[in-house]
């Protein structure tokens, strides 16, 4: 029977601020007064747990020596290490481990020895590090020696190995550690259609605990050279702001990248200024550029280089017990066409009086808005809106019935001498909604459904300006029927169905596809289906059928098949106008294959009317737990230039920490 001996040693507080607990099979004191534990030895010291075949505790010097199959775990640091021998001074807090290997957070490491030589200072020799599991060391970073502080890692004679083959050597490496450390970030190095060399080098500056900045130097051999500055500051847990300044110096005259563009947009000094922030209920932002082509020329990420417009705004929101107050200014900058002006809201002020009970079961709310719609060229107007709603719920023979009556007041004050037939609108809207709920739940099968009948009445149609949904006031007397049903097998949805149709007693409605008035009573039928009979098979369909045109006016469907590492998707979108002519006909194809880390993904969006690909993307590569490499090609049809924009990028990541991007071709 194994004998367990427990010893609790309370070390003098001036030297050690933790308790030392030793558990072992045998325990004895040698001739020098040291405590020697053998067998299965376990030591608990603060947050550390140590196991070894033998542990010697030199009580007079407060030193622990562990020998044979040493195991160390630091729980709060996510550290697990194995070694042959370890020594730790409890007073000076220094020590070493020989022949160490283990895991720190997501990194696996191995070294001849690891020493703690000072307060938060470590040294190690002949080591290697990776994020690969121990049985799959596909990528290794080897070094002859390294010094680690609380701020940086200094490593020497660094060799990067892929599959044990050296591919890169760096004599000295300096890496910031921790959440916020000043230093150089990963650069972007590459080439593209217009530049033989592209080099972008970001520098991170941790100014203080509440503020930091990133400065990026951008060199392009033929195009503009530039600099980017991004500054961020936190004022309080609920308040912060940031601003970005991008400045680029364009060569004169411009090169091939400006071919086919409007020369009036050319600027030698090009910039973008962007600022965002919030302070309590106040949000604000400014985003402006020197020219309409700035985003396309500067960025390499599709989500940024194809931004259609920029927005500058001030938004204030304040909620009181019974009232919500809003104030905002919104100014748009359209980048799709340089001579097109968007409609701005300068300003928009709103007051919403919350729902309150004014009688037995009768509730009342009001919303009031003033909006100044403004643009340099085109229609601009002041609009005042007040909408008051009365609503009440009934329970008649167990059936719930909800009615609401909205009093609508819209007033339009045009700039200058402009006028409309209906500058002042006073009308009302009535709605009656009756829902029916049904559900069933068995051992594996679960069903639920909502049936709803909705009647809406508005007495008049007005010839007023049309800026947003508040201006869509048309004569209406219609009844709609809605059904929403879902079926689940366990936790997986196998069937979802939505249907909506109706009848307009006034004999007209607006077609969903082109907004034209149809002088008929029967409303289009909408059906949305989601069907998944087996895991890995999903079919969706969403269509509008117009009884009067006797055709499907909008159809979107998609079939997705997934099996193992392969997936296929086929979809289409078709829409027709009020003359029954096809206005959109597109097909979407998707294929993805992933086998043992190797992958290929393709996507294509085909316009069947133009008989061309509007957008296609192909990416192929390899991804393991510790490195990845891929090449991505995308081609986008530019309707203005009547040509394709072709782009090729290389992506790679070492240890899957950050992804490097190398542009090879753009535009």
Domain boundaries, the chain: 5-105
Q: What is the pLDDT of residue 595?
A: 93
Q: What is the pLDDT of residue 186?
A: 76
Checking 540-546 for CB contacts under 8 A at 24+ apart, the result is: 544/512, 544/513, 546/511, 546/518
pLDDT above 50 for 14 = no
Residue 140: asked if its preceding bond is cis (omega within 30°), the reply is: no
- Please state which of the ranges 144-158, 404-418, 492-506, 539-553 shows the lowest mean pLDDT: 144-158
Q: What is the mean pLDDT of the chain?
A: 86
pLDDT above 80 for 174 = no
| Cα angle 596, 598, 599; round to 5 | 120
* Residue 339 pLDDT grade (very low, low, confident, very high; cuts 50, 70, 90): low
- Cα→Cα distances 273→186, 276, 278, 653, Å: 24, 10, 17, 31
3-state SS assignment for residue 263: helix
* Closest to 16 in 3D by CA, of 93, 68, 86: 93
Q: The whole model's pTM is what?
A: 0.70
CA–CA separation, 171 and 148 (whole Å): 16
**Tally of residues, the chain:** 667
CA–CA separation, 667 and 648 (whole Å): 9
Mean pLDDT confidence for 477-491: 94
Q: Confirm if 127 and 81 have CB atoms less than 8 A apart.
A: no
DSSP annotation string for 280-295? TTEEEEEEEESSTTHH
Residue listed under structure tokens 């600099």: 227
Mean pLDDT confidence for 495-517: 88
Mean pLDDT confidence for 230-236: 93
CA 128, 130, 133, 139: dihedral to nearest 10 degrees?
Answer: -100
Residue 646 structure tokens: 């072709």
3-state SS assignment for residue 450: strand
* Residue 160 pLDDT grade (very low, low, confident, very high; cuts 50, 70, 90): confident
Query: What percentage of the chain has pLDDT greater than the value 70?
Result: 93
- Please state which of the ranges 182-186, 238-242, 580-584 shows the lowest mean pLDDT: 182-186
Q: What is the pLDDT of residue 180?
A: 67
Q: What is the pLDDT of residue 294?
A: 92
Mean pLDDT confidence for 327-343: 79
Architecture in CATH of 5-105? Sandwich (2.60)
CA–CA separation, 575 and 580 (whole Å): 9
* Residue 213 pLDDT grade (very low, low, confident, very high; cuts 50, 70, 90): very high
pLDDT above 60 for 8 = no
Q: What is the pLDDT of residue 640?
A: 66
Q: What is the pLDDT of residue 667?
A: 62
DSSP code of residue 265 = G
CA–CA separation, 158 and 171 (whole Å): 6
CA–CA separation, 586 and 140 (whole Å): 47
Higher pLDDT, 479 or 301: 479
Highest mean pLDDT among 205-209, 227-231, 337-341: 227-231
Q: Confirm if 167 and 161 have CB atoms less than 8 A apart.
A: yes
């Amino acid at each position: 029977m194994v004998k367990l001996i427990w010893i609790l040693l309370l070390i003098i507080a001036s030297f050690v601020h933790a308790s030392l607990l030793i558990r072992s099979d045998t325990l004895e004191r040698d001739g020098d007064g040291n405590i020697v534990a053998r067998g299965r030895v376990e030591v608990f010291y603060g947050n550390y747990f140590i196991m070894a075949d033998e542990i010697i505790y030199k009580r007079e010097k407060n030193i622990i020596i562990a020998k044979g199959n040493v195991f160390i775990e630091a729980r709060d640091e996510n550290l697990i290490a194995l070694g042959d021998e370890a020594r730790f001074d409890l007073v000076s807090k220094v020590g070493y481990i020989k022949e160490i290997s283990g895991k720190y957070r997501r990194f696996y490491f191995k070294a001849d020895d690891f020493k703690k030589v000072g307060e938060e200072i470590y040294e190690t020799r002949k080591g290697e590090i990776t994020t690969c599991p121990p049985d799959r060391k596909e990528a290794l970073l080897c070094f002859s020696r390294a010094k680690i502080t609380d701020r940086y890692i200094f490593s020497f004679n660094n060799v990067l190995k892929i599959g044990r083959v050296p591919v890169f050597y760096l004599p000295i490496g300096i890496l910031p550690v921790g959440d916020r450390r000043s230093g150089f970030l990963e650069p972007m190095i590459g080439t593209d259609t217009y530049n033989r060399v592209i080099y972008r080098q970001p520098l991170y500056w941790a100014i203080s605990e509440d503020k930091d900045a990133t400065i990026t130097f951008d060199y392009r051999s033929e195009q503009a050279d530039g600099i980017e500055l991004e500054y961020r500051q936190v004022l309080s847990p609920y308040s912060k702001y940031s601003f970005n300044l991008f400045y680029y110096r364009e060569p004169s005259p411009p090169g091939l990248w400006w071919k086919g563009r409007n020369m009036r947009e050319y600027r030698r000094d090009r910039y973008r200024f962007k600022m965002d922030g919030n302070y309590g209920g106040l949000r604000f932002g400014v985003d402006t550029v020197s020219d309409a082509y700035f985003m396309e020329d500067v960025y390499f990420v599709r989500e940024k280089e194809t931004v259609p417009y920029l927005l500058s705004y001030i938004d204030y929101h304040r909620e009181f017990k019974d009232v919500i107050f809003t104030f905002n200014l919104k100014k748009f900058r359209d980048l799709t066409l340089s001579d097109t002006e968007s409609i701005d809201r300068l300003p928009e002020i709103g007051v919403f009086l919350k729902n309150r009970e004014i009688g037995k079961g009768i509730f009342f709310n009001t919303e009031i808005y003033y909006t100044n719609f403004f643009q340099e060229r085109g229609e601009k107007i002041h609009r005042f809106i007040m909408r008051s709603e009365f609503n009440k719920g009934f329970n008649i023979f167990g059936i719930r019935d909800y009615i609401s009556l909205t009093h609508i007041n819209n007033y339009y004050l045009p700039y200058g001498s402009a006028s409309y037939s209906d500058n002042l609108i006073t009308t009302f809207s009535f709605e009656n909604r009756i829902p029916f709920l049904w559900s069933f739940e068995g051992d594996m099968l679960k069903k639920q459904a909502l049936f709803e009948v909705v009647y809406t009445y508005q007495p008049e149609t007005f010839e007023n300006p049309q800026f947003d949904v508040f201006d869509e006031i048309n004569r209406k007397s219609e009844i709609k029927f809605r059904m929403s049903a879902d079926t689940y097998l366990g936790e997986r949805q196998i069937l979802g169905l939505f249907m909506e149709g109706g009848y307009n007693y006034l004999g007209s409605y607006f077609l969903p596809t082109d907004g034209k008035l149809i002088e008929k009573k029967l409303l289009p039928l909408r059906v949305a289906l989601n069907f998944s009979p087996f895991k890995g098979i999903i079919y969706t369909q969403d269509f509008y059928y117009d009884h009067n045109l006797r055709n499907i006016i909008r159809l979107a469907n998609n079939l997705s098949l997934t099996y193992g590492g392969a997936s296929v998707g086929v979809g289409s979108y078709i829409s027709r106008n009020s003359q029954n002519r096809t206005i959109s006909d597109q097909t979407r194809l998707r294929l993805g294959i992933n086998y043992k880390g190797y992958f290929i993904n393709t996507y294509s969006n085909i316009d069947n009317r133009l008989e061309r690909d509007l957008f296609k993307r192909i990416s192929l590569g390899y991804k393991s737990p510790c490195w990845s490499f891929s090449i991505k090609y995308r081609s986008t049809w530019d309707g203005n230039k009547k040509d394709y924009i072709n782009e090729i990028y290389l992506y790679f990541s070492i240890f899957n920490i950050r992804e490097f991007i190398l542009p090879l071709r753009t535009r």
